[in-house]
Chains A and B, each alone.
Chain A
């Protein structure tokens, strides 16, 4: 117990030194700010925000009503654009990246003609149940303005949580997390090792009471701090989509540990930051591309299976599952196994390499 506490304390000392040192380094600060900007950019332009002014709607017209609804800008500046679906099922599928699904009832024409207030069923993705009433009021007001007389949009329990096996926003969010976490990690973490080697401060560190394992652990802590700045921010921003927090946090921890391990591995094996730049590009491509495409239906089955074996795909799957329903434990375990094995292998490699500095 004393040894464990001692190890953690030493790692903490090294980690906090690295964090303070990085914040004093102009280039590290710039990279962190750029990445935070990218997280905000992707979130702003890529995510579903039902309270925004630009709302995309998929419409299923049950009774082929006489209404033709086209893109419209309302008095408050909100813009509504529309896509048609021929069935309820198609509407849900087409909603993958849309804000609202709307069912026009078969008796809509008659109800409107009689001057009564028709009730339209609204469907939304993921949204917090506490906010449903607010959204119902917003959409009711909007469609009353669009249709020229009072209507009521009722969402109730029509909150759609995507299915685990379906492609959609959940895949995009999961692969964006891969990008945010691994880019910041590979941008900054190799520097933690390379600079110590270039300035030979690693020699001083290794003659101090810190063991090679404690040095690696300290660097990993500093790396986790970088990842929390960007990946943690992304996790917080996308938290409204998360259905299963245990899976989400497990996947995020996996992302973070693998990214830190890879960053330290690159830093251990290379001699200059120039080399780190080359490795960063190669590794980001290797890590980011598979989770982007492994759910693509048009890919050949063999290629798709191959892509799922990448650790970043396994982690993206775990994160995607945390945003979906109908997850079968049999789908979780293989991905968890790939992630854990990859993390263990990468950290083993780093500790082996640092230990070998005495050879």
Chain B
């Protein structure tokens, strides 16, 4: 069974096609990079795959559950780190996690475990509003991992973080994949995607324009050995620039 299986998934917003008939699959235990410029449809895809948004057409299964018909069964199988730091700021990290532990019917001892895993044990009792961005991101990751999901969705998990914390978070993600968790990762940092992902998909204007391992993509589209994933990304998804020049 595939961890994620997507068939012709489409989503329209007010007549605009945000995601246009994409199909792909992700193997269990794989880190899958889902890359694209702003507005390409990455977050819309994640929202559909996590049951937050209904597709206009097409279908998808995550952890074996249909994203439309089996949404409630799907929820305990997935963890989501959103692109915004959506945590209860007046509560401490521990209170946030205890709240979600109760919703997921997870034992409270797991909260201590996960706090230690993300390195927040010492400050767990402080209000989240006193945390740095990096610490908040750790809380988000802890929340997503609390119930040991089969598939973890990470929507730009290192955006705006300083390099040390970003590296720590990449380390956590790599460890998770080593332990067999499937990770669906969107990021703007090509180096990060290159380093972490077994395969990457480039999304542009709602279409997947390339999907393969970073090495094969470099081999196929690169001009020489120095070609980076970022070079290929810009080559294949220059639509932002195209759009801007169209407007100008």
Interface residues of A (CB under 8 A from B): 10, 13-14, 17, 20-21, 24-25, 199-201, 203-204, 206-211, 357-359
Contact = CB atoms under 8 A, between A and B. Distances in A.
B58 to A, nearest CB: 15
Given A21-B88, A208-B75, A358-B52, A203 B103 contact: no
Nearest to B105: A209
Contacts of B75: 207-209
A17 B101 CA distance: 12
B143 A211 contact: no
Q: How large is the interface on B (under 10, 10 to 19, 20 to 34, 35 or more residues)?
A: 20 to 34
Given A13-B103, A208-B104, A203 B88 contact: no
B143 A209 contact: no
A353 to B, nearest CB: 15
B104 A204 contact: no
Contact of A200 (B84, B99, B105): B84
Contacts of B82: 200, 203-204
A201 B86 contact: yes
Contacts, number: 64
B86 A358 contact: no
Contacts of B53: 358-359
**Residue of B54, B84, B102, B104 with most chain A CB atoms under a 10 A cut-off:** B102
Contacts of B54: 358-359
Given A203-B52, A207-B50, A10 B103 contact: yes
A13 B51 contact: no
Contacts of B80: 203-204, 207
B135 interface: no
B87 interface: yes
A21 B90 contact: yes
21 contacts: A14-B103, A17-B88, A17-B91, A20-B91, A21-B90, A21-B91, A24-B91, A25-B90, A199-B84, A200-B82, A201-B87, A204-B80, A204-B100, A207-B50, A208-B75, A209-B75, A209-B76, A209-B103, A210-B103, A358-B53, A359-B54
B7 interface: no
A359 B56 CA distance: 9
Interface in B94-113: 95, 99-100, 102-105
Contacts of B52: 203, 206-207, 357-358
Contacts of A208: 75, 100, 103-104
Interface string B45-65: 000001111100000000000
A20 B84 CA distance: 23
Contacts of A210: 103
B86 A199 contact: yes
A193 B87 CA distance: 15
Nearest to B72: A211
